[in-house]
Amino acid sequence: MMHVEIWSDVVCPWCYIGKRHFEAALAGFEARDDVQVTYRSFQLDPDAPRESEGDLADRMGARLGGSREEALARLDSMTERMRGAGIESHFDQARVGNTRDAHRLLHLAAQHGAQSAVKERFLKAYFTEGEAIGRAETLQRIAVEAGLPADEVADVLSGDRFAIEVEDDQQVARSLGINGVPFFVVDRAYGASGAQPPEALLELLRQAKAESALDGVSEG
């Protein structure tokens, strides 16, 4: 079984594009039924409040040292890129917030075999629907919509369950030298940074598969 780990955040547009590209690559991979995919936690802004004031353009201008107009131009460009990947985005409605709780729920989703569906729901909620992704009540509703048991979601959000797992994911990212997302790792042996085109990700999967086969022959 091949294991693909994807470090990403739910407020990262490149991560949403990367998810689409990886899904396309996986669909074209001959051994796709033998691939296990795990989404790992990575927070772009771990110190962000649960819900930030001001719109995204203002925050980008402040963080990147540019004007609001420059930030709006970047967002317009990103909107087009996301549209090219089949993703509808409304950055003018984005409500930035801390993603720690979303990542904790993704660990719960892993236990139910529903990580991809929950990840997709969180991304859509933030980029397309303008949901406040840092709010517990928002996460409760959309996580249940994505198929997670309401009582388990409430239990996670009311405490600190999976907090250690979220930090462990980010510590592993640091140990692997990952400082930007999305980042794809296959069997802890092969990696690809950024929203690579589907063809590049498919080649990554095929390379890992071929090397695994060679290792099996040499060990035999």
Domain ranges of the chain: 2-219
**168-201 pLDDT, tens per residue?**
999 999 999 999 999 999 999 999 999 999 999 9
> C-alpha angle 208/34/153, rounded to 5°?
110
- Burial class from Cβ neighbours inside 10 Å (0-12, 13-18, 19+) for residue 67 reads exposed
The CATH code belonging to domain 2-219 is: 3.40.30.10
- Three-state DSSP state, 170: helix
Kindly report the pTM of this predicted structure: 0.94
Alpha carbons 86 and 40: distance in angstroms, whole number: 23
Residue keyed to tokens 């600190």: 160
- 138-157 tens-digit pLDDT: 999 999 999 999 999 999 99
- Tens digits of per-residue pLDDT, 72-127? 999 999 999 999 999 999 999 999 899 999 999 999 999 999 999 999 999 999 99
Question: What token pair was written down for 212?
Answer: 């695994």
Residues 6+ apart with CB under 8 A from 128: 87, 88, 89, 90
The Cα 197–Cα 152 span in angstroms is 36
Residue 220, pLDDT > 60, answer: no
Task: Output DSSP code: residue 44.
Answer: S
